[in-house]
Amino acid sequence: MEHDKIGANGLPMSRRGFMESVLSVTALGAAASVLPGLSQQAWAAGLPVKGYGVTTAQPKDWSRVTQSIGIQVDYTPTNADIGVFMRDVMGNDLTSTHDVFIFDGGTEDLLGPEGYYAEIDENHPELKLWARTPDSWKRSSFLRADDKQYAVPVIGNGDAFGYFPAAIDANPNGLDEVPWTTFFEGENVKGRVAIDRSWLQSMAETANYLKHHGRITVEDPADLPAEQARQVADYLVERKRAGQFRTIFTAFEEQVQLLSNKEVAMINCWEPATKEANNALGPNSVIYAFTVEGYYLWGHGACVAAAAMDRGNVDNIYKLLNYFLDGEYRAFQAKERGYAGPNMDLGVQYAIDHGWSKEDIDGLKWAEEKVRRKFQKPFFCKVVPEHADVMEEEWQRFLNA
Amino acid sequence: MTMQSRSDSPALPQRRPFAKRLLDGLKPSRLTVPTFLLAWSFLVIAPLVVIVLFSFLQVKAYRVVYTPSLDTWISLIDSGRWMAAVRTLRIGITMTIIEFVLAFPFALWLAKGCRSKTVKAMIITLLTIPFFLDAASRIIVWRSILGQTGAVNTALMSLGITDAPIDWLLYSEFAVHFGLLGTHFPTMVFPIFMSIALIDDDYIQASQDLGGGPAQTLFNIIIPMALPGIVAGIVFTLVPLMAAFVEPQLLGGGFVDLLGNSVNSALQQLKYPTAAALSTVVVALLGICLAVLVLVTRRRYDMASMFVAIRR
Amino acid sequence: MSTMTLAPAREDRAAARPQGRLGQSAGWKTMAKAFGAFALAMIYIPLIWLAVMSFAASPLSGIPYPLTLDNYRQLGGDARWVTPMQTSLWLSALVAFVCMVIATVVGRAITRLERPGGVILLTLLPLFVPGLTMGAALFIFLRSILELKLGIWSIFLGQLVWALPFCMLLVLVIASRFDLRLLEAAEDLGASPWRRFWDIEMPILRPGIFGAGIFGFLLSFNELPRSLFLRGIETTMPIYNWAMAASQQSQIPIIFSLTTLLVAVTLPVMGVFFWFLFVKLDKN
């Protein structure tokens, strides 16, 4: 289909178009080939890139990537469970077999200096789009450690909460800023608030809220030393006892269900959950908030295993890293999940070139505008906080209270 | 080969195929149990010993710190984690009792009361199927039935029984118990059914002929003979209940923090010591329960020889 | 209720059917059936609801309308779950088979011990350890201490440690009702050890052994916590679902329709299997 488009528009054959035709020829050859080993090599130029990471970064189908840049990707999926990820990279020695790791940015704080990840070679010839990628994305702290670049940005968002505008008398167009005060203390949503069981997110958001209103003094809301962690947990226990929370949720499906059943009025969920809920309830029933106090910024980074730099597949690895910065990946991620990332303009261009509907293109533009607006507020996030152990213990106290 | 077989088993037809002689080796040998225990110790006991030793270490930033300390054990108390262990045991035991009360009569009927073998086969099939299915998708469905806008509350309100939706139907201990009920029923039924099915009808007949009433037959014949199955049923039910994870999460709304969730949270920070200490507490608690069970029933039933084959 | 029906029922039942002896009263039977029906309803109400919602446009909303086949189309269009499903199927079959063999061989031997208590407790020990902890213990032991490369084999071991105690108990329940004098008699008549096992013990142990196989398969098929630690980079069906749960895209359409299909397939297969076991094989 994409072939036809390019042909019909009479555009000159792009690099991608060329790769596609080369591929269709080699694919035919591969199908005819009897030797499986041979066909594997013929199918993609060079070795497949082996990836390990979260499913959020996954396109619906990796063959789209193969068609686009001629690289076969062999991806082992995992959950967003930091313990499992750390165990696999450090304990299971995955760097000896896998080339690229994609996880919530922050793992490089530990795995970079420890020598599991290689520094990104910013001048690699295949990393064509690096120079044009804005610093607000590529220099984010969750991609760097010790002033060294360990990751390429993949996707990201500023997380806040979803809400029903009618429940809090807010502007139904969803463009106004809603304070976290409503979430934690609003009488009109009392007993109708759901809070995420992930303490990385919920404790950081609470700490930022308390910090903003001058109720605690803390440098980084996402990394709480023992004393501050205790203060935050105390506050949450008090709110829990006051009956502010209807439930403490875990899974994505729970978020969708809580919203689409209108079981809660506010929830610090992920943005795609509001998208799913609106599919059932009608557009703009649930709003994903712009907030007063700031956002929990997360972003996935693609890191390269240090050992992979000696395995002779570096060009393909960097081709894949470059793909994450390019328009096709950006456009599909924004369309399928509503997530932004660097170089959204390329995504918009891709959508226009490939004849996407006006609605879809407007969606991409809105995703960019939304993130630009959020970037003006304070941010906090750390996947591997230094004080993780005390924070986890304090969070248990909240759960058991 | 043939020579050997002749000398080995003179009473049998000569030239027995090699495969059959090999199969003869299947007879219970004195070595079977020790061999098994050796392999089992390597596969189960050794790892468990290692992880219990880990509970005296600490983990900082995903790394084990090899300095022995009691910090992990102290933090079990400070963080209230031990409460999760006790709560889990309480819910586990309550549910096991409920399941037993429901399952024993049903298993008895299935084994001795149900005359149609086809019906029996059908019921067993129905009890087996749920195991194939992803627990989360089965349980999440209850939420749209028990929720504030769910089927139950809608029905109650439209019938005028209540004015406002009943809150405690969901996100409460009630909801967790409710969700656990279906999941753990089959594991209680199966072993009890199997052991009752094995009781010869002649015994029951004899009890009746000797003038024993239904209650006497039940307590003097059926329960003692079905005891291995009952114990197996209790173990089959209580043990998975201790690890219940999905139901408290999806139906308890995070307010019913059970052991499985607590261990999971610890392991997300690779806190092996905490997981180990918490699990040690559970094994100890279960051990105490088991010991109490044995002591209480000792007078009536001999647990020790329960699993010994009949000799005399 | 039980006392009311006691008297008239006694006569004819006792005369007609020996297995009706226990229940001269229909009362307890009604109660037993009611309990069973209640529990089965608790299992099947969500399943039926789930099957209905698999045809709904938004399965989590609780409203089945409008009806659609979209979820099934999505399932058909997504091939990623197929390989994990295949892995799970053959792995579970293997676990089931190995459990059957070990449980039979060792279970029989245990019932012949004078004091089996200690051995049984040791065998059952892994049941009492929470799954994640057992997984972590095996991971530390196999990976950190023995420095082995994990893969399907370690998932297999983890699941074996989980399923075998259950299977062993099932065989023990049956084997402990076995009368050893039957074997002595057969030996006196000159039967070989194999014939003694196959012709005398096996028919009696069969429900336990098949039960062990079924339980082994089912426990392995849905096993997640141990597999999570021991997977290496392999993916079974539960691991796949676990990983996809974090993909921030609803998996429910796919999972609901897959579950419905699974019920549609396993229900007749297991039905025929049990019918064969209870009606065909059970001639005595």
Please report, for residues A3, A13, A15, the alpha-carbon distance to residue A21 in angstroms, rounded to integers and kept in the order given: 9, 10, 10
Which of A94, A120, A51, C215 is closest to B194 using CA atoms? C215
Q: Identify any residues that bridge with A103 across adjacent strands, giving them in sequence order.
A: A301
Residues 66-125 of A with CB under 8 A from B: 81-84, 86-87, 90, 110
Q: Does the beta carbon of C53 lie under 8 angstroms from any beta carbon of chain B?
A: yes
Range of the structural domain that residue A250 is part of: 161-293+378-400
pLDDT of residue B12: 46
> In this complex, how many residue pairs, one in chain B and one in chain C, have their CB atoms less than 8 Å apart?
336
Using CB atoms, which residue from C57, C61, C150 is nearest to A92? C150
- Do A191 and A265 lie in a common domain? yes
CATH assignment at residue A205? 3.40.190.10
Give yes or no for a contact between B177 and B207, defined as CB atoms under 8 angstroms apart.
no
Residue A40 above 70 pLDDT?
A: no
What is the rounded CA–CA span in Å between residue B294 and residue B206?
29
Q: Cα angle vertex C266, ends C261, C267, to 5°?
A: 100
Question: Does B134 contact C53 at a Cβ distance shorter than 8 Å?
Answer: no
Where are the domains positioned within chain C?
A: 2-75, 80-280
Does the distance separating the beta carbons of B32 and C274 come in below 8 Å?
Answer: no
Identify the residue among B308, B311, B312 best suited for mutation to test binding to C, counting C beta carbons within 10 A and taking the highest.
B308
* Vertex A10 angle, CA A5 and A15, to 5°: 75
Distance between C66 CA and the closest CA of chain B, angstroms: 17
Report pLDDT for A30.
Answer: 43
Structural domain contains residue A250: yes
Q: Where are the alpha helices (DSSP H) in A174-313?
A: 180-185, 199-212, 226-241, 252-260, 271-281
* Beta-strand relationship, A49-54 and A73-78: parallel
Residue B27 identity: K
**Average pLDDT in chain B:** 81
Select the residue of C57, C228, C250 nearest A84 (Cβ to Cβ): C228
Residue A106 is assigned to a structural domain of this protein? yes
Total count of residues recorded for chain C = 284
Q: Which residue has the higher pLDDT, B147 or A220?
A: A220
The answer to whether A253 contacts C242, with C-beta atoms less than 8 Å apart, is no
Q: What distance in Å separates the CA atoms of residue A10 and residue A57, rounded to the nearest whole number?
A: 33
Burial class (CB in 10 A: 0-12, 13-18, 19+), A61: middle
Cα-flanking dihedrals φ and ψ of residue A118, to 5°?
A: -90, 150
Contact A378, A208 (CB under 8 A): yes
Cis check for the bond before B248: say yes or no (omega within 30 of 0). no
* Gyration radius from chain B CA atoms: 26
Q: What pLDDT does A371 receive?
A: 84
Contact B131 C218 (CB under 8 A): yes
pTM metric for this prediction: 0.79
Q: Which pLDDT score is estimated for C18?
A: 43
Residue A61, in any domain of the structure: yes
Residue type, B107: A
Quick one: average pLDDT of A4-32?
42
Is residue A18 in a domain? no
Q: Nearest residue of A to residue B62 by CA position?
A: A86
- Inter-chain CB proximity C113 and B147 less than 8 Å: no
The confidence band for A45, taking pLDDT boundaries of 50, 70 and 90, is low
Co-location of A240 and A194 in the same domain:
yes
Please give the CATH architecture assigned to the domain spanning C80-280. Answer: Orthogonal Bundle (1.10)
Lowest mean pLDDT among A100-114, A245-259, B6-20, B75-89: B6-20
Helix (H) or strand (E) holding A73: strand A73-78
Picking from C220, C206, C235, the residue whose alpha carbon sits closest to that of residue C84 is C235
Taking an 8 Å cut-off on Cβ atoms, the answer to whether C250 and A97 are in contact is no
Give the pLDDT of residue B22: 59
Whether residue A9 has pLDDT greater than 70: no
What tens digit of pLDDT does each residue of A132-177 get? 999 888 898 889 888 999 999 999 888 999 999 999 888 888 888 9
- Per-residue pLDDT tens listing for chain C (284 residues): 333 333 333 444 444 344 444 545 667 888 999 999 999 999 998 888 888 888 887 777 666 777 888 888 888 877 788 889 999 999 999 999 999 999 998 988 888 887 787 888 888 888 888 788 888 899 989 988 888 888 899 999 999 999 999 899 888 888 877 777 888 888 888 888 788 888 888 888 888 888 888 889 888 988 888 998 898 888 898 888 888 776 666 677 778 888 888 888 888 888 887 887 777 766 54
* C45/B contact by beta carbon, under 8 A: yes
- From the list C18, C53, C140, the residue facing B205 with the nearest CB is C18
Burial (CB count <10 Å: 0-12, 13-18, 19+), residue A357: exposed
Residues B204-244 have pLDDT tens digits of 888 888 887 788 888 888 888 888 888 888 888 888 888 88
Asked if A257's CB is within 8 angstroms of B265's CB, the reply is: no
What is the rounded distance in angstroms from the CA atom of residue A146 to the CA atom of residue C220?
Answer: 45
With an 8 Å Cβ cutoff, are A55 and C250 in contact?
A: no
Mean pLDDT value across chain A: 85
Tell me which of A10 and A158 has the higher pLDDT.
A158
Interface of C with B in 165-204 (CB under 8 A): 166, 169-170, 172-181, 190, 192-194, 196-198
Type and span of the H or E element at B269: none
Question: HSE (CB half, 13 Å, CA atoms) of C216?
Answer: 32
Among left, alpha and beta (phi > 0; psi -120 to 50; other), residue B61 is left
- Alpha helix positions (H), A54-194: 63-69, 82-86, 108-111, 135-138, 180-185
Question: How many other CB atoms are found less than 10 A from the CB of residue C268?
Answer: 11
C154, two tokens: 């370690």
- In this prediction, residue A8 carries a pLDDT of 34
**Distance, CA of A69 to CA of A65 (rounded, Å):** 6
Copy the structure tokens of residue B108: 């008895």
Give the model's pLDDT for residue C25: 60
Tally the domains of chain A. Answer: 2
The answer to whether the CB atoms of B113 and C20 lie below 8 A apart is yes
Q: Do A251 and B136 touch (CB under 8 A)?
A: yes
| Residue B83, pLDDT score | 85
Task: Give backbone dihedrals phi and psi of A245, rounded to 5 degrees, phi first.
Answer: -100, 130
Quick one: A70 and A127 in the same domain?
yes
Record: contact C60-A79, CB cut-off 8 A:
no
Residue A243, chain B, CB below 8 Å: the answer is: no
Least CB–CB distance from C252: residue in A54, A60, A253: A253
Strand, coil or helix: what is B12? coil
Span B129-154, average pLDDT:
80
Chains that touch B (3 or more CB pairs under 8 A): A, C
Give the closest of B115, B118, B191 to C279, CB-based.
Answer: B118
Across A179-188, B7-16, C219-228, the highest mean pLDDT is recorded for A179-188
Three-state SS at B129? helix
Burial pattern A11-25, b for ≥16 Cβ within 10 A else e, equals eeeeeebebbeebee
Domain boundaries, given as residue ranges, for chain B: 89-257
Q: How far is CA A61 from CA A57, A369, C18, in A?
A: 11, 27, 63
Residue type for B119, please?
Answer: V
Chains in contact with C, where contact means 3 or more Cβ–Cβ distances below 8 Å, are A, B
**Domain check: are A190 and A261 in the same one?**
yes
User: Looking at CA atoms only, how far is residue A249 from chain C in angstroms?
Assistant: 13
- Tell me how far apart the alpha carbons of residues A297 and A295 are, in angstroms, rounded to a whole number: 6
d(CA A387, CA A392): 9
Q: Which residue of B has its CA nearest to C238?
A: B134
Whether ipTM exceeds 0.85? no
The strand pairing partners of A157, in sequence order, are A298
DSSP letters, A3-39, are: HHHHHHHTPPPPHHHHHHHHHHHHHHHHHH-S-HHHH
Give the contacts of A322 (CB within 8 A, at least 6 positions apart). A69, A126, A127, A128, A129, A130
Distance CA B94, CA B206 (A): 36
Q: Please give the pLDDT value at position A120.
A: 94
Q: How far is residue A163's CA from residue A185's CA, in Å, rounded to a whole number?
A: 14
Question: How many Cβ contacts (< 8 angstroms) between chains A and C?
Answer: 75
Q: What is the pLDDT of residue C282?
A: 62
**C224 in contact with chain A, both atoms CB, cutoff 8 A:** no
Residues in A closer than 8 angstroms to C139, CB to CB, are 87, 91
Res A38 pLDDT > 70: no
* pLDDT at residue C227, as a whole number: 92
Please tell me the CATH code under which domain B89-257 is placed. Answer: 1.10.3720.10
